[in-house]
């Protein structure tokens, strides 16, 4: 009878472990990088750049990915195919996680940015949208400069640290190419992260390639 009870408990324990393991869809690929960020300079295939975060941070990244695809009813088993990579950028007070995603079903390159407070060890609740479809195409888990990026010679870093207020506290500058038909413009957004909020300090849009 004791042997039977032992085998029964072992079966239940194994089944629970299997169930808990299956709850995690995948381990997001995280690449460690430095400011200023130029995505053209990322060595996507270098294993030395791969960074493993703790379970809490990886779970937040996975949750953000699932939320992005929820309206499209994309099965969890396909998330790994549509998550290109997550770029990790550590500053003095915050760490940025740029989650690069393939839009479903277009395949365009999109981005979601998470801010993590290094001191309090918390994620900022808000997610910053950073659409990169006009600058980059994606294939096999890598980004490649788009024809528009090459045509307009857009060389500005996508993310860099700036001190807008002169207070020696670094803010975050995001640069992207906006494209709509024949209209193209460089969009620059500078944000600060304070009191668990993202505040926009500067937002500019400069048309390019326009001939009167």
Q: What are 46-92's pLDDT values in tens digits? A: 999 999 999 999 999 999 999 999 878 888 888 888 999 999 999 99
pLDDT confidence tier of residue 210, bands split at 50, 70 and 90:
low
- At residue 25, the pLDDT reads 61
The overall average pLDDT reported for the chain is 88
Report which of residues 144 and 9 the model is more confident about.
144
23: closest CA among 63, 68, 57? 63
Question: By percentage, how much of the chain surpasses pLDDT 70?
Answer: 87
Contacts of 71-80 with CB under 8 Å at 24 or more apart are 72/104, 72/105, 74/104, 76/25, 77/25, 79/25, 79/26, 80/25, 80/26
Chain centroid to CA 16: how far? 32
pLDDT reported for residue 177 = 98
| pLDDT tens for each residue of 153-166 | 999 999 999 999 88
Torsion from C-alpha of 111, 115, 116, 118, nearest 10 degrees: 130
Q: What pLDDT score was predicted for residue 131?
A: 97
């Amino acid at each position: 009878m004791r042997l039977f009870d032992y085998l029964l408990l072992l079966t239940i324990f194994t089944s629970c472990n299997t169930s808990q393991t299956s709850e995690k869809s995948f381990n997001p690929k995280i690449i460690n990088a430095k400011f200023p960020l130029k995505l053209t300079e990322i060595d996507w295939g270098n294993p030395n750049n791969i960074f493993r975060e703790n379970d809490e941070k990886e779970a937040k990244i996975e949750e953000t990915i699932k939320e992005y695809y929820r309206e499209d009813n994309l099965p969890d088993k396909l998330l790994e195919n549509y998550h290109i990579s997550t770029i990790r950028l550590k500053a003095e007070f915050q760490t940025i996680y740029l989650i690069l995603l393939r839009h479903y079903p277009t395949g365009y390159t999109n981005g979601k940015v998470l801010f993590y407070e290094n001191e309090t060890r918390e994620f900022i609740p808000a997610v910053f949208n950073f659409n990169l479809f006009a600058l980059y195409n994606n294939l096999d888990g890598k980004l490649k400069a788009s024809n528009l990026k090459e045509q307009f010679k857009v060389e500005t870093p996508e993310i860099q640290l700036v001190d807008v207020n002169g207070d020696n506290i670094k803010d975050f500058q995001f640069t992207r190419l906006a494209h709509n038909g024949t209209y193209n413009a460089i969009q620059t957004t500078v944000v600060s992260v304070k009191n668990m909020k993202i505040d926009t300090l500067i937002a500019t849009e400069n048309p390019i390639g326009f001939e009167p």
